[in-house]
A and B are shown apart, each in its own frame.
Chain A
Amino acid sequence: GESVGLHLPTLSVQEGDNSIINCAYSNSASDYFIWYKQESGKGPQFIIDIRSNMDKRQGQRVTVLLNKTVKHLSLQIAATQPGDSAVYFCAEKGSSNTGKLIFGQGTTLQVKP
């Protein structure tokens, strides 16, 4: 079946350092991946996405890397700030055409001042 998982439940980094959050997926047919940030008491907020025909995409302070060979996805946050503290979810679009996203369990990012 389809599943999306994250390697670590909690990641603690120093303010100003770079953060790397990892995600493994199991459906080799997935063609779209997305990262969401969820702050306490709020809904998930879109960060960045990537399609399977790419292996890297950059946004403002964030980069997503996709390794289809090992079915691995990562989110890199440059110069991590206290406002980056949140739970980060990766999600994959399943093999159907319905736009259904399957979410992983989430990684909590803690930024120490």
Chain B
Amino acid sequence: EAGVAQSPRYKIIEKRQSVAFWCNPISGHATLYWYQQILGQGPKLLIQFQNNGVVDDSQLPKDRFSAERLKGVDSTLKIQPAKLEDSAVYLCASSLGNANEKLFFGSGTQLSVL
């Protein structure tokens, strides 16, 4: 079974530029999550989708971050404009359902903002 796919693997941008990350969850997984992991810390939830609807985006900095999952499968996370403090690994995870707690993670996109 294929795992959660993410791209790109690495991204380096300058502050105030924009960047987008892509995620393809495990086939059949209805719930998709984007987590931000700053170096030396545990992952922090940014947004959770159930199919193509947003379940929780309470910790998403909406003035600069946006995410969509239009067809309920793939998802993109965008940052515009980026700040230095956005440097982190952005992890995508998926699970079977909304209350199914076991999350499967992708390898993440490592973002460096200079």
Contact = CB atoms under 8 A, between A and B. Distances in A.
Say what secondary structure dominates the interface of chain B: loop
Interface string A2-42: 00100000000000000000000000000010101000011
A43 B42 contact: no
B102 A44 contact: no
A106 B104 contact: no
A103 B42 contact: yes
Contacts of A44: 43, 91, 103, 105
A43 B45 contact: no
Interface residues of A, number: 25
A49 B95 CA distance: 14
B67 interface: no
B44 A43 contact: no
B42 A49 contact: no
Interface range on chain B (Cβ under 8 Å from partner): 20 to 34
A46 B99 contact: no
Contacts of A58: none
Contact of A43 (B31, B40, B91, B97): B91
B44 A103 contact: yes
23 contacts: A34-B102, A41-B107, A42-B108, A43-B91, A43-B105, A44-B91, A44-B105, A46-B103, A46-B104, A49-B102, A96-B56, A97-B98, A99-B31, A99-B97, A99-B99, A99-B100, A99-B101, A101-B101, A101-B103, A104-B42, A105-B41, A106-B40, A106-B42
Interface of B: 4, 31, 40-45, 48, 55-56, 91, 93, 95, 97-108
